[in-house]
Amino acid sequence: MQPKSCNFLVVTVLCCALWRCGFAGPVGGRDLTLKLKDNTCNEYARSLLWVVSDALAMDHLFSGFNCTQQNAEVHIRTQTMSACTPQSDCTHSPVLNINENTCLQRILEDLQYYRDTFTVYADTALTKTVVRSIDDILQNCFSVSAMDNSALKVSMDHKKSFQERLQLCKVLKGFHLRAITINRVFSYILAKE
């Protein structure tokens, strides 16, 4: 191997190792630091999961089709799954860690997105259950005033047409998956404290 090629290889491997360990971060990233307030957040997360499961069984929301046969549509713009997936550190230890702050920021963004989506739909039963449960988590587990949600806009037709009810079903199923993630993340974070 040529000396220059060898140096390039060493530099490349070193840069990759530093990048993987997270020593380099995005320039201009958020300065917002989030933490869960206390262990009651686990209860709020479990309640959210139950409420969303119950909402999927509301016949009046999905009259004309079987919601259980539809695909889920998950809000992927926030990249919650990648932010909340445990990663091992560079020492190859069996301990898995997540960047709690980034993960909680993504969860907060998701909660606000879904809250806006379900509020726009304007169904009283949905507002009293799912939206209220989201509000409980936002108010009791996060500092909501720290979040800028100006970029999170949701468009939904208010006619409650078949297509809108079908879309609501898919979004609600996607939110059910996200509620499972929220439960797991909250349990993981709060168990470490």
Strand-pair partners of 88? 96
101 with 33: CB under 8 angstroms? yes
Q: Mind listing the pLDDT tens digit for each residue in 57-71?
A: 888 888 778 888 888
pLDDT for 99: 80
With bands split at pLDDT 50, 70 and 90, how would you rate the model's confidence at 173?
very high
Instruction: Tell me if 89 is assigned to some domain.
Output: yes
CATH number, domain at 60?
1.20.1250
Instruction: Tell me if 96 is assigned to some domain.
Output: yes
The pTM for the full model equals 0.71
Nearest to 109 by CA among 132, 83, 89: 83
Number of domains in the chain: 1
Tell me the C-alpha distance between 101 and 83, whole Å.
9
Instruction: Tell me if 17 is assigned to some domain.
Output: no
Is a pLDDT exceeding 80 seen at residue 140?
yes
Instruction: Tell me if 57 is assigned to some domain.
Output: yes
Instruction: Tell me if 174 is assigned to some domain.
Output: yes
Q: Mind listing the pLDDT tens digit for each residue in 113-138?
A: 999 999 988 788 889 999 999 999 99
Q: Checking phi first, is residue 165 left (phi over 0); if not, alpha (psi -120 to 50) or beta?
A: alpha
| DSSP 3-state of 65 | coil
Domain range spanning residue 178? 33-192
pLDDT for 27: 36
